[in-house]
Structure 1
């Protein structure tokens, strides 16, 4: 039995009606990101207090990483275990 392998499509082919997909970066050096470019992270504030100074920085964590270049659809849902 041979398995049909999806061809990774470029980011420019994706549109929001497609929803969440698997996002890949080539060469593959990590697991795919699951989601969409519309995913928002959470903004966190970091306060650094040095003698006589205070620095507040806002950073976004989580959400769309932004460096994935290609996508494939999510696989079919597996059957429920017996």
Structure 2
């Protein structure tokens, strides 16, 4: 149950619309009703002060350091343990574990997109039509944009139809 559901439930339980009759012996008194409503309003104020739970991003334990955050773990082999042949040599690990801190940006930069724009010779005000691919895979003229993920693909279309320009979106 989230915070808003709790507030709605408390509001429904308040004595806003009494369902009892005055002749009922167990009907609440006006003082009881006022006190109950005041307590309900106080509860709503306390609930409004609660913070919503923060959303947590799950990380693999192998790629996470408790104090630093995202890291890359390395296992380097140990060529020769120190003090070879002494009691310090017993049960010496074969690998030494190190980690490298990773700096992962919060916002991912989008790859550039390109569109092919063709002049419309029938237009008096110089509107442009753009090239698009229809459902059958053929190329035609429309007011919709066909986006390309590389400039080379967009230039190939311009070369194919022998007119138009390529713009970065």
Q: As a proportion of its length, which structure holds more helix?
A: 2
Common fold by TM > 0.5: no
TM-score (norm 1): 0.31
Bigger fraction of residues in strand? 1
Task: Output the TM-score relative to the length of structure 2.
Answer: 0.19
Structure whose alpha-carbon radius of gyration is higher = 2
Higher relative contact order (CA 8 A, sep 6+): 1
